[in-house]
Amino acid sequence: MALKNPVYLDLETLLAQAEYNDVRVPVQADIVEKTVKQRSGKANLGYGGLGAGGSTGSEVEFQTSYTMTPSEKATVSKVIDGLIRADVVSMAPVSGSLVKDDLFELEGTARITAASLAGKLFNLLLQYLKDMDQDVTDIQFSEIAPDIKKLMQKVYLGNELVPIPLLIELENTGLEQKVFVNLRPSFFIESASLDRIEGEMRVLGTIRNLIDGGDEGYLSSEEWLLHGWEYLMKRMMMLNLNEQVEGLTAALKLDVPKDDVHAWIKGPAIVIDAIAIY
């Protein structure tokens, strides 16, 4: 199996999965090498015309110690491969039913959803409104001040990450259900950004939500849209959030798909908590 180069990694959860499933994890090793050398010398004993020669000496021990630390890429790759070999990771297509908390590896084409595009902007708007004399019961996104518009356009057009969870859709996975992936903000590797998250990706994670089809098959997307907003504000805004998102995107002239995730995720679908993306 190939060495994996993750752009997103929750190492603590990955190692916990390994421990739980009895998969060996490479660990730091302290190496001590010992070498024994013989220190010798010659001695002569003589009496009259007779003589005898021999050697005397002592053993000297040399000790060298050093530490071998496994590289993170190698550790991650070996742990993931070990989980797959232990048959604790499901892969598409699946023969049985999906179960919440199952460990899954899926490959597909990742793209950020409209909910997270708007969620980035809502987060900046929240920071902006905290310092304003604003009637919170009548927020009109079509009347956003020019300075916050510029800030939001920079975040959207500049593809910047903000400290909120993101929701991406993983297409072409081989599953009948739509697949969405939850990304927490603190596990991106180095300078990874959305341009490294979108595109052909392999995702390892656990199933957090199973959304049925039909009229009852919906899941609120407020976790990604309104992260950090107060509970009462969420309840008020969720009443007409689709209209709010449309007003926001219209004010910023953002072109988002009409059938994408806005206030709700429609089933049949699954949501996966990402552990690693590579």
In a domain, residue 24? The reply is no
In a domain, residue 270? The reply is yes
Model pLDDT, residue 206: 97
Kindly provide the b/e burial profile for residues 176-188, where b requires at least 16 CB atoms within 10 angstroms of the residue's own CB. eebbbbbbeeebb
- Residue pair 15/27 in contact (Cβ under 8 Å)? The answer is no
Model pLDDT, residue 153: 66
CA 81 to chain CA centroid, nearest Å = 17
In a domain, residue 47? The reply is no
Model pLDDT, residue 50: 44
**C-alpha span between 252 and 232 (Å, rounded):** 26
Count of H-run helices and E-run strands, the chain:
8, 11
Structure tokens at 75: 């550790």
**C-alpha span between 196 and 189 (Å, rounded):** 10
Percentages (nearest 5) of helix, strand, coil residues in the chain? 30, 35, 35
**C-alpha span between 203 and 221 (Å, rounded):** 21
pTM, two decimals, is 0.76
In a domain, residue 61? The reply is no
In a domain, residue 203? The reply is yes
Q: Answer yes or no: is pLDDT of 155 > 60.
A: yes
- Collapsing DSSP to helix, strand or coil, 39 comes out as strand
In a domain, residue 256? The reply is yes
Q: Across 49-53, 237-241, 274-278, which has the greatest mean pLDDT?
A: 274-278
> What tens digit of pLDDT does each residue of 78-96 get?
999 999 999 999 988 776 7
Model pLDDT, residue 182: 97
N residues, the chain: 278
In a domain, residue 10? The reply is no
- Residue pair 182/116 in contact (Cβ under 8 Å)? The answer is no
Q: Answer yes or no: is pLDDT of 189 > 90.
A: no
Quote the domain boundaries for residue 123.
72-277
In a domain, residue 29? The reply is no
Structure tokens at 5: 């180069």
**C-alpha span between 264 and 261 (Å, rounded):** 6
Domain count, the chain: 1
Nearest to 183 by CA among 115, 229, 128, 122: 115
